[in-house]
Amino acid sequence: MAGVRVKENEPIESAIRRFKKQCEKAGILAELRKREHYEKPSVRRKK
């Protein structure tokens, strides 16, 4: 799980930007989109 600690005197926007980069690097959003709808195993094998 991605997590970011906001540093002292750091704007929240930059912390959010760092969090988004970590999520993208970890592949969290891609995994979320992949699992958004159930896919039958037979359909998954065809891909």
The pLDDT assigned to 2 comes to 81
Higher pLDDT, 11 or 1: 11
The pLDDT assigned to 22 comes to 93
pLDDT in tens, 12-41: 999 999 999 999 999 998 898 888 989 899
The pLDDT assigned to 44 comes to 85
E strand or H helix at 45: helix 41-46
CA-to-CA distance for 22 and 3, rounded, in angstroms?
8
Is residue 47 scored above 90 in pLDDT?
Answer: no
The pLDDT assigned to 43 comes to 87
CA-to-CA distance for 18 and 46, rounded, in angstroms?
37
